[in-house]
Amino acid sequence: MSGFFANAVVYILAAIVCVPIAKRLGMGSVLGYLLAGIIIGPYLLGFITNEGQGQDIMHATEFGVVMMLFLIGLELEPKMLWRIKDLILRIGLSQILLTSLIVFGIGILVQIPWQAALAISLSMALSSTAIVLQSLKEKNQMNQPLGKMSFGVLLMQDIAVIPILAILPLLVVQGAQLVETDPEQMHGLIDQLPGWAQTLSIFGAIGIVILLGRYGFGPLLNFVAKTRLRELFTASALLIVVGISFLMELVGLSPALGAFLAGVILANSPYRHALESDLEPFKGLLLGLFFMAVGSTINFTLIFNEASTIFSITFGIILIKALILLILGKIKKLKLSSNLSFAIGLSQVGEFSFVTYAFALQLGIFSQSMSDTLMAVTALSMTISPILMVILDLTILPKLDRNEEKKEQKMDDVHEKNKVLLIGFGHFGSTVGRFLRASGVEATILDSDPERVEYLRKLGFKVYFGDGTRAELLESAGAHEASILISAIDDREISKVLVEICKEEFPHLEVMIRAKNRMDAFELMDMGVENIYRENLDTSIKMGEDALKKLGFRAHTVHRLAKQFHDYDEASLKVLVNFKHNRDEYISKTKQQIEIQESLISGELSRKFSVNDHTWDSESIKEAVKSEIGNTKGEERNRK
């Protein structure tokens, strides 16, 4: 199979077939892409003829990882980064050092030359940013303690790439021949410079990135934005990322790290969201290709021939990494279920090791067979760890969560016994809570974001740390004594869990649930929830009301219209929910409801009010009076 289009068709088709299936099976897109890669790879369908081709694609698409870090940087403000510096330094660094140390020790034990052992151990300490972050984002766990820990570790690993690349050349076995030396490929222009100058240029490059981020990119984007050519803006966004990567490559730094830095600096920029939305598709596409390339590079011949060696190394490294991460998670007091996700999630060897293996091979630290074996191990670990995650998510975690609720219940002793339990204290929940408080009702508030809890406590709110979706915590928060439970969480899944728990354990509680939209409300109605609050219904009607007022409508008339519209919308929801299971019928019913809604409101306008509401409308009275006068006149005339 050759030719650009043919290749493109194969790759894209494979992705389109495999990824939705993987997602449907609850495996996440990463595993889907990996499987797609394996399927089109040389050992199954053979669309990609050899691993070399896969590796080429992999290198080309590594750029997706760079973009992903840029995008992550965009979402992280410098202040945020400063707050997690502890996490990055302590946890991240200990993970790298401990893992390397143990792997190095094993390497020495099995009598690998120490240079090779060191190169292997350093490469294997790193995890796959692409896999981990992608799946964390898909599971919406980035803001949970588990997500933050993972991110901290990954960030430290990215930083560690710099010294690792610097150390490798020092390991060159004296007298060994450099295999196919190609300095341009791995190292940039500064190789020929003396050490101090190299260091200087590294700092110089970082300085340039920071300066550009502060003063260069803003005006550039501003200038481009003014042209109102959208593709030019996209091009500029790409230029920023590509340019930084180039600069970093030049001085031998990790492009991903540079891009991340630039992203963080641009996080406060007004163009942040525009950049995000422009780069997101590129990132997704490149990452997808990258994962597929990883899948296709798995050398099954080698794996079959040396199955025992490769599988034992793979599972060995996964085990070592996971154990170390587990210990670190324990120290950081992650609860067991999160800790397992954290450890298994980061247990694979990362894509960066492909780079170091290639580099070490050139430098003559590795032999060809050693490099092949390691490549296979890495690719295999990248495939196995997502599978392990799926197994964990589906089988172990649900049970664990249940057990954990029983024993590990020391999160926060909640002394309050209030009538109202308020779950979630973000923008939505805090408004509810403030209003209740202003009316003299103290709610017991639970929130699972430790930083928010701390911050709100400083402001004098009684907010407690804890996940509202655990029956025992709800109980200690006084669910038995309370009469109302308000869920102000914006995560629909968590809301649903909450509803289930309340139904089973606290049936006396009046449950009030925030819903995102109509569909959300339907699901909750199906579960028997009566008090459903669509989060933007009232605000949007209020906005329309104000807009009509600005157009010259009388305020009170519009207010009554708005109220009527609101009631109508709520009522139509109750009708529609019965039809949502039958999709066709639902669509036609929706259309019907919309039509009714439209005709209702236009009817109101043309009649100055609704069809049945003649309130304050004197037209009919005037008519009646007129005909009465007519009658009496007629009578008078008759009399005459």
Q: Tell me the C-alpha distance between 162 and 205, whole Å.
A: 13
Cβ proximity to another protein: between 594 and 625 the closer is 625
How far apart are CB 553 and another protein at their closest, in Å?
A: 17
How far apart are CB 411 and another protein at their closest, in Å?
A: 38
Cβ proximity to another protein: between 50 and 557 the closer is 557
Q: Tell me the C-alpha distance between 613 and 560, whole Å.
A: 11
Cβ proximity to another protein: between 13 and 621 the closer is 621
How far apart are CB 441 and another protein at their closest, in Å?
A: 14
Cβ proximity to another protein: between 516 and 560 the closer is 560
Cβ proximity to another protein: between 167 and 621 the closer is 621
Q: Tell me the C-alpha distance between 429 and 434, whole Å.
A: 8
Q: Tell me the C-alpha distance between 50 and 300, whole Å.
A: 11
The 3-state DSSP class for residue 114 equals: helix
| One residue of 177, 606, 620, 638 binding another protein per CB under 8 A | 620
> How far, CA to CA in Å, does 591 sit from each of 143, 181, 510, 540, 599?
39, 68, 33, 20, 12
Using the rule CB under 8 A, give the single segment among 50-58, 398-406, 539-547, 620-628 that binds another protein. 620-628
Of residues 217 through 236, those in contact with another protein by CB under 8 A are none
Binding mask 438-477 for another protein (x = CB under 8 A): ----------------------------------------
How far apart are CB 613 and another protein at their closest, in Å?
A: 7
Binding mask 524-563 for another protein (x = CB under 8 A): ------------------------------------x--x
Which two three-digit tokens encode residue 232? 């030019």
How far apart are CB 626 and another protein at their closest, in Å?
A: 12
Q: Tell me the C-alpha distance between 587 and 576, whole Å.
A: 10
Cβ proximity to another protein: between 206 and 548 the closer is 548
Neighbouring C-beta atoms of residue 259, cutoff 10 Å: 30
Q: List beta partners, residue 447.
A: 465
Do residues 261 and 210 lie in contact, with contact meaning Cβ atoms separated by under 8 Å?
yes
What is the edge-to-edge ordering of all strands in the sheet holding 420-423?
A: 463-465, 443-447, 420-423, 484-487, 510-515, 531-534
How far apart are CB 430 and another protein at their closest, in Å?
A: 24
Neighbouring C-beta atoms of residue 249, cutoff 10 Å: 17
Ranges of H-type helices in 126-216: 129-138, 145-167, 183-186, 195-211
Instruction: Classify the C-alpha dihedral 228-229-235-238 as positive or negative.
Output: positive
How far apart are CB 623 and another protein at their closest, in Å?
A: 10
How far apart are CB 567 and another protein at their closest, in Å?
A: 8
Q: Could you identify the residue written with the tokens 């010259």?
A: 552
| DSSP type of residue 216 | I
Beta strands at 420-423 and 484-487: parallel, antiparallel or unpaired = parallel
Neighbouring C-beta atoms of residue 261, cutoff 10 Å: 21
Cβ proximity to another protein: between 454 and 613 the closer is 613
Cβ proximity to another protein: between 238 and 605 the closer is 605
How far apart are CB 562 and another protein at their closest, in Å?
A: 10
Cβ proximity to another protein: between 287 and 512 the closer is 512
How far apart are CB 488 and another protein at their closest, in Å?
A: 22
Cβ proximity to another protein: between 143 and 610 the closer is 610
Cβ proximity to another protein: between 177 and 615 the closer is 615
- What DSSP assignment string belongs to 569-613? HHHHHHHHGGGSSSHHHHHHHHHHHHHHHHHHHHHHHHTSS-TT-
Do residues 34 and 294 lie in contact, with contact meaning Cβ atoms separated by under 8 Å?
yes
Task: Please count the residues of this chain forming the interface with another protein, following the rule CB under 8 A.
Answer: 11
Cβ proximity to another protein: between 530 and 613 the closer is 613
Cβ proximity to another protein: between 519 and 571 the closer is 571
How far apart are CB 434 and another protein at their closest, in Å?
A: 20
**Closest of 3, 89, 106 to residue 47, by C-alpha:** 3
Of residues 364 through 403, those in contact with another protein by CB under 8 A are none
Using the rule CB under 8 A, give the single segment among 182-190, 302-310, 326-334, 618-626 that binds another protein. 618-626
Q: Could you identify the residue written with the tokens 């649900």?
A: 398
- What DSSP assignment string belongs to 235-293? HHHHHHHHHHHHHHHHTT--HHHHHHHHHHHHTTSTTHHHHHHHHHHHHHHHHHHHHHH
SS3 string, 169-186, reads HHHCCCCCCCCCCCHHHH
Cβ proximity to another protein: between 16 and 624 the closer is 624
| One residue of 21, 229, 621, 629 binding another protein per CB under 8 A | 621
How far apart are CB 638 and another protein at their closest, in Å?
A: 21
Cβ proximity to another protein: between 211 and 625 the closer is 625
Neighbouring C-beta atoms of residue 554, cutoff 10 Å: 11
| One residue of 9, 193, 331, 624 binding another protein per CB under 8 A | 624
Neighbouring C-beta atoms of residue 543, cutoff 10 Å: 12
How far apart are CB 612 and another protein at their closest, in Å?
A: 7
Of residues 115 through 154, those in contact with another protein by CB under 8 A are none
How far apart are CB 460 and another protein at their closest, in Å?
A: 28
How far apart are CB 559 and another protein at their closest, in Å?
A: 8
Using the rule CB under 8 A, give the single segment among 151-159, 368-376, 477-485, 619-627 that binds another protein. 619-627
Cβ proximity to another protein: between 211 and 555 the closer is 555
Of residues 558 through 617, those in contact with another protein by CB under 8 A are 560, 563-564, 612-616
How far apart are CB 603 and another protein at their closest, in Å?
A: 16
Of residues 172 through 191, those in contact with another protein by CB under 8 A are none
Which two three-digit tokens encode residue 593? 């409801």
**Closest of 398, 401, 400, 455 to residue 426, by C-alpha:** 455
- Longest Cα pair distance anywhere in the chain, in angstroms? 138
Q: Which residues bind another protein (CB under 8 A)?
A: 560, 563-564, 612-616, 620-621, 624
